[in-house]
Amino acid sequence: MSPTLTAQLPETSAPRMPRVHYLNVDYGVKSWLLTTDHKRIAIMYLVVATLFFALGGTFAGLMRLQLLTPHSHLVQAETYNKLFTMHGLIMIFFFLIPSIPAVLGNFLIPMMIGARDLAFPRLNLASWYIYVLGGLFTITAAATGGVDTGWTFYTPYSSVYSNTNVVLTVVGIFITGFSSILTGLNFIITIHKLRAPGMTWGRLPLFVWAHYATSLIFILGTPVLAITLVLVGLERLFHVGVFDPALGGDPLLFQHLFWFYSHPAVYIMILPGMGVISELVTCFSRKRIYGYPFIAGSSLAIAVLGFLVWGHHMFVSGQSVYAGMAFSLLSMLVAIPSGVKVFNWTATLYKGSISYHAPMLYCFGFIGLFTIGGLTGLFLATLGIDVHVHDTYFVIAHFHYIMVGGAIMAYMGGLHFWWPKMTGRLYPEGWAKLAALIIFIGFNLTFFPQFILGYLGMPRRYAFYPPEFQVLNVLSSAGASILGIGYLIPLVYLIWSMRYGKPAGPNPWNAKGLEWQTTSPPPTDNFTEPPVVEEAYAYAND
Amino acid sequence: MERWLPLFPERASTISGQVDRLFGFEIVVAVFFAALIFALVLVFAVKFHRGRSRPVADDMRLELTWTLIPLGVTLVMFAWGADIFFQGTHPPRDAMEITVVAKQWMWKFQQPTGQREIDTLHVPLGRPVKLLMTSEDVIHSLFVPAFRVKKDVLPGRYTTLWFQATRLGTYHLFCSQYCGAQHSSMIGWVYVLEPSAYEAWLSGRRATSASPVDSGRALFQRLGCITCHVQAAPQRCPRLEGLYGKTVKLTTGQTVIADEGYIRESIIEPQAKIVAGYQPVMPTYTGQLKEEDVLDLIAYIKSLSPPLEEGNQ
């Protein structure tokens, strides 16, 4: 054998791990905790977010166990109230909001635009520390008695009446908000200033467009939440009358301020997922994404319109009838850009060359579940129907179709798509497909019955319920156990793959983004030579 | 009816049928669009499975189609829903009025004739009923699924809700706004009775107190309201006869409709809105009156106005 042949053979038959990459460039805890590499910071976010997901999921599991019977003695009402509060807080502020942006966005945005890192690498590390610090406050609040206000902190219950750890929790959420703000700032500046030659706005990956829109909400909305939470704290600690009418305050003012952030926060959670889906659907149908300007534009439309619909959470609150009508109309409008995205993804499949890899199965799951979640959102935007289903399980089902069926499905799809890039290794695809199927079935069994429960009139946040609702609750709890198994399987095989998975090679999916033009895992500086972009989504050139 | 697996709630008010029809329409729309998307994704996924990828150019007409058609459909939903909402927020003028005071964790009702009940509400069949509601502590929400009505009940102000029961029976009444530890036990029953049975129930139940109007009149004297508002009116302070429902001109030049919320505020915080031509001389009653007392006073003040004709603003 000639020396040249032996050197080439492994290259072409089985990919090998690169000799030096961002994971093995340095070892030891310090090399992680003091890193400014966006890829390492993304992994640190991944670890912490996964822990929070497990914690939030455990709380959900206990709730579903309680709701197996109408008058369960598993936990007392007070404990149940703390369970749903902690489930909501952890899942929203410590998992869903940071998950796709801070894990996948952090890892991919610099790579997708051909940059070496984010614009402010140290600030990026600071965001992670702020996130962890906020999390520690909230966990401490949970461990030292818990909090029972619901994740919505409605006043005057939260500011005066609740005798649980409200202030500690609020401080935790307040701190974590700054992590969002700084990440958003970092993303916006990076996208503006660090694009590779040829990476014009019209060639920007849709994943990046989605994160740009998300970052706008981060920096415009999060400060309002911070201010609101400070006001709750002031009223609670120093009896400054802001929200409690007994102190001269206005209880509805809190709801206006809270939802001014928290409705856009819904789009913080779903827009990055839509960005993931845009990348998956184009790669696995081997076709240029259909309607690029409409998908990019609809992300911005959602970000802007999302700030004008908060009052649809307050149709029965006693706000004026005409305010209700304005918010209903605006809420209808915000549904349109979401619909535009779904239609464009579907059109992308047309005349493609579609393969059913695991990420694509999650992508199909997303399209189906997000469609149901979006359509049921129209029911809630309709005044006459919302009056009946407001604060019932119909709402719970709707937003879980968006948050779990949409955002988490996309997160799982994205994780499976970019896992080979992040770790350099392939996971067992059969298991991944099985997990996607189990999650899909478990999810629907958990949440579909809740639509029916809601229209029947079962209110949310009930530790006990009338016996006629039991059958549907049992179905939902059964689904939750399947869903739990579905989430455990990837945890096992993904960790397994980090050591035993086959080396993936630079581009196992034959995808066209810049992140696939470098080794897997990438070197610390991402690219050995600066990339030049000539075309976006060049799948037609195969 | 088989009750072990109900799929649709009972329908027991004039508005429930309307809500269900709109709900049905939206189900049809949702099923249509979901089926369309699912079918397209499924057909494409199978038909183009590992085929040859062929480029497809963007088409503005297609983008407009799937923007404008859904927009039109959602505008229909908006208008239809707004119409039902508008009816639901405007009680008929001849509605009988029941007051509701919510607190952690009970519902207190008082009939116009003075009978009080807790966590149960008796109403006559076929008569519009308006609930005038307030809370002593946190925000609650009164929800009767069979009537398809719900409204938050707030501390420090009044909200209203109305319904007209169309079917005899006993229906769930829930608190649907999370209000603390025993939120899920803040439940009760609405009893819809034949008008004659309702009258019998009223007379069979010794009124625990006088009617709100009589209690309010007594309070009006005991608290000294009568000194100014009757004996020294209208020089020192405005007359209360005919006040309810009237438009009042304030010193700021603004006008306000004298509804229950305005009268309440004028008792609790008299300095908040001063009627044009008068001095801010009335003392505050903040913290001195129970919610029930304020409601009684308002009932009395309302009784000083002639009952409004149907359609008369």
- Is B81 an interface residue toward A (CB < 8 Å)? yes
Closest to A338 in 3D by CA, of A379, A387, A301: A301
H or E stretch at B36 = helix B14-47
Q: How far apart are CA A433 and CA A357, in angstroms?
A: 8
What's the Cα-to-Cα distance from A252 to each of A121, A156, B159, B162, B275, rounded to whole Å? 41, 9, 12, 22, 26
* Best residue of B3, B48, B136 to probe chain A, by most A CBs closer than 10 Å: B48
List pLDDT tens digits, range A43-81: 999 999 999 999 999 999 999 999 999 999 999 999 999
* Buried/exposed code over A86-96 (b: 16+ C-beta within 10 A; e: otherwise): bbbbbbbbbbb
What's the Cα-to-Cα distance from A490 to each of A224, A413, A426, A430, A482, rounded to whole Å? 37, 11, 13, 11, 14
Q: Residue A424 — left, alpha, or beta (φ > 0 → left; ψ -120 to 50 → alpha)?
A: left
Chain A residues inside the 8 Å CB shell of B107:
none
The residue in chain A having the minimum alpha-carbon distance to the alpha carbon of residue B41 is A346
Q: How far apart are CA A242 and CA A231, in angstroms?
A: 7
The residue in chain A having the minimum alpha-carbon distance to the alpha carbon of residue B178 is A461
Pairing verdict, β B96-103 and B140-144: unpaired
The beta-carbon neighbor of A372 closest among B34, B85, B148 is: B34
Q: How far apart are CA A70 and CA A306, in angstroms?
A: 37
What's the Cα-to-Cα distance from A10 to each of A14, A15, A304, A425, rounded to whole Å? 5, 7, 51, 16
Q: Say if A290 falls within a structural domain.
A: yes
Domain of residue A206, residue span: 41-537
Task: Please classify residue A5 by burial: count the beta carbons closer than 10 Å to its beta carbon, then call 0-12 exposed, 13-18 middle and 19+ buried.
Answer: exposed
Tokens of B204: 């069979």
Q: Say if A298 falls within a structural domain.
A: yes
List pLDDT tens digits, range B170-182: 999 999 999 999 9
Average pLDDT, chain B: 91
> Which residue is listed with tokens 């609101």?
A228
Distance of CA A279 to the CA centre of its chain: 16
The C-alpha of B123 sits at a distance from chain A's nearest C-alpha, in angstroms, of 20
* Best residue of A67, A244, A385 to probe chain B, by most B CBs closer than 10 Å: A385
3-state helix, strand, coil in chain A (%, to 5): 70, 0, 25
Phi, psi of B100 (to 5 degrees): -130, 125
C-beta atoms surrounding A320 within 10 Å: 10
Chain A residues inside the 8 Å CB shell of B6:
456, 468
Q: How far apart are CA A395 and CA A455, in angstroms?
A: 10
List pLDDT tens digits, range A485-508: 999 999 999 999 999 999 999 999
A221: confidence class by pLDDT, cuts 50, 70, 90: very high
CB contact under 8 A, B51 and A335: no
| Residue A248 near residue B157, CB atoms below 8 Å | no
- Is B143 an interface residue toward A (CB < 8 Å)? yes
Tokens of B188: 């009760």
List pLDDT tens digits, range A342-382: 999 999 999 999 999 999 999 999 999 999 999 999 999 99
**Domain edges within chain B:** 9-41+61-209, 212-303
> Which residue is listed with tokens 């827009």?
A271
CB contact under 8 A, B22 and A150: no
The C-alpha of A110 sits at a distance from chain B's nearest C-alpha, in angstroms, of 28
Q: Say if A227 falls within a structural domain.
A: yes
The residue in chain A having the minimum alpha-carbon distance to the alpha carbon of residue B143 is A388
Indicate the SS3 state at residue A443.
helix
Q: How far apart are CA A157 and CA A236, in angstroms?
A: 10
Sign of CA dihedral B165, B167, B169, B172: negative
Distance of CA A20 to the CA centre of its chain: 32
| Residue A280 near residue A363, CB atoms below 8 Å | yes
CB contact under 8 A, B26 and A382: yes
The C-alpha of A521 sits at a distance from chain B's nearest C-alpha, in angstroms, of 28
Cβ-proximal residues to A222 (8 Å cutoff; 6+ apart), any chain: A177, A178, A180, A181, A184, A261
pLDDT at B312: 39
What's the Cα-to-Cα distance from A232 to each of A166, A219, A321, rounded to whole Å? 9, 21, 27
A535: confidence class by pLDDT, cuts 50, 70, 90: confident
Domain holding A145: CATH number?
1.20.210.10
Cβ-proximal residues to B13 (8 Å cutoff; 6+ apart), any chain: B144, B146, B147, B148, B149, B163, B164, B165, B166
pLDDT at B18: 96
Name the packing angle between helices A358-381 and A409-423 (round to 10°). 150
pLDDT at B208: 67
CB contact under 8 A, B50 and A355: yes
Closest to A460 in 3D by CA, of B83, B258, B290, B176: B176
Q: Say if A83 falls within a structural domain.
A: yes
> Which residue is listed with tokens 């998300």?
A214
B239: confidence class by pLDDT, cuts 50, 70, 90: confident
Q: Say if A281 falls within a structural domain.
A: yes
The C-alpha of B260 sits at a distance from chain A's nearest C-alpha, in angstroms, of 14
| Residue A418 near residue A424, CB atoms below 8 Å | no
Task: Please classify residue B250 by burial: count the beta carbons closer than 10 Å to its beta carbon, then call 0-12 exposed, 13-18 middle and 19+ buried.
Answer: middle
Q: Which of residues 145-174 of B touch A (CB under 8 A)?
A: 145-146, 148-152, 154-157, 159, 172, 174
DSSP 8-state assignment for residue A47: H
Residue A542 has pLDDT above 80, yes or no: no
B307: confidence class by pLDDT, cuts 50, 70, 90: low
Q: What is the DSSP string of A354-416?
A: B---HHHHHHHHHHHHHHHHHHHHHHHHSHHHHHHHTTBHHHHHHHHHHIIIIIIHHHHHHHH
Chain A residues inside the 8 Å CB shell of B163:
none
Task: Please classify residue A144 by burial: count the beta carbons closer than 10 Å to its beta carbon, then call 0-12 exposed, 13-18 middle and 19+ buried.
Answer: exposed
List pLDDT tens digits, range A134-165: 999 999 999 999 999 999 999 999 999 999 99
Sign of CA dihedral A22, A28, A30, A33: positive
The residue in chain A having the minimum alpha-carbon distance to the alpha carbon of residue B177 is A391
Instruction: Look at the domain B9-41+61-209 and name its fold.
Output: Immunoglobulin-like (2.60.40)
Quote the pTM value. Answer: 0.93
Chain A residues inside the 8 Å CB shell of B75:
332
The C-alpha of B265 sits at a distance from chain A's nearest C-alpha, in angstroms, of 12
Chain A residues inside the 8 Å CB shell of B149:
387-388
Residue B233 has pLDDT above 80, yes or no: no
DSSP 8-state assignment for residue A459: B
| Residue A298 near residue B66, CB atoms below 8 Å | no
Closest to A337 in 3D by CA, of A384, A282, A297: A297
The residue in chain B having the minimum alpha-carbon distance to the alpha carbon of residue A342 is B37
B134: confidence class by pLDDT, cuts 50, 70, 90: very high
**Structural domains counted in chain A:** 1
Distance of CA B80 to the CA centre of its chain: 19
| Residue A198 near residue A534, CB atoms below 8 Å | yes
Tokens of B116: 């009080």
pLDDT at B2: 45
> Which residue is listed with tokens 């929070």?
A52
Instruction: Look at the domain B212-303 and name its fold.
Output: Cytochrome Bc1 Complex; Chain D, domain 2 (1.10.760)
Q: Which residues pair with B13 in a beta bridge?
A: B165
Q: How far apart are CA A518 and CA A523, in angstroms?
A: 8
Cβ-proximal residues to A480 (8 Å cutoff; 6+ apart), any chain: A60, A61, A64, A442, A446
Tokens of B243: 């006040």
- Is B277 an interface residue toward A (CB < 8 Å)? no
- Is B225 an interface residue toward A (CB < 8 Å)? no
CB contact under 8 A, A468 and B4: yes
Cα angle A163-A96-A427, degrees, rounded to a multiple of 5: 135
Q: Say if A17 falls within a structural domain.
A: no
C-beta atoms surrounding A437 within 10 Å: 13
Q: How far apart are CA A19 and CA A17, in angstroms?
A: 6
What's the Cα-to-Cα distance from A422 to each of A310, A506, A508, A521, rounded to whole Å? 37, 11, 12, 5
Pairing verdict, β B149-153 and B159-164: unpaired
List pLDDT tens digits, range B40-94: 999 999 999 988 888 889 999 999 999 999 999 999 999 999 999 999 999 998 9
List pLDDT tens digits, range B255-265: 999 999 999 99
> Which residue is listed with tokens 């029965």?
A316
pLDDT at B51: 84
Phi, psi of A216 (to 5 degrees): -60, -45
Q: Which of residues 41-70 of B touch A (CB under 8 A)?
A: 41, 44-45, 48-56, 58, 62-63, 66-67, 70
Tokens of A63: 């709730």
| Residue A310 near residue A323, CB atoms below 8 Å | no
CB contact under 8 A, B78 and A384: no
C-beta atoms surrounding B310 within 10 Å: 7
Amino acid at B309: E
* Buried/exposed code over B190-227 (b: 16+ C-beta within 10 A; e: otherwise): bbbbeeebbeebbeeeeeeeebbbbbbbebbeeeebee
The beta-carbon neighbor of A385 closest among B71, B81, B180 is: B81
The C-alpha of A405 sits at a distance from chain B's nearest C-alpha, in angstroms, of 15
The residue in chain B having the minimum alpha-carbon distance to the alpha carbon of residue A450 is B7
Helices (H), A194-205: none
- Higher-pLDDT residue of A179 and A5 is A179
Q: How far apart are CA A287 and CA A539, in angstroms?
A: 5
Average pLDDT, chain A: 94
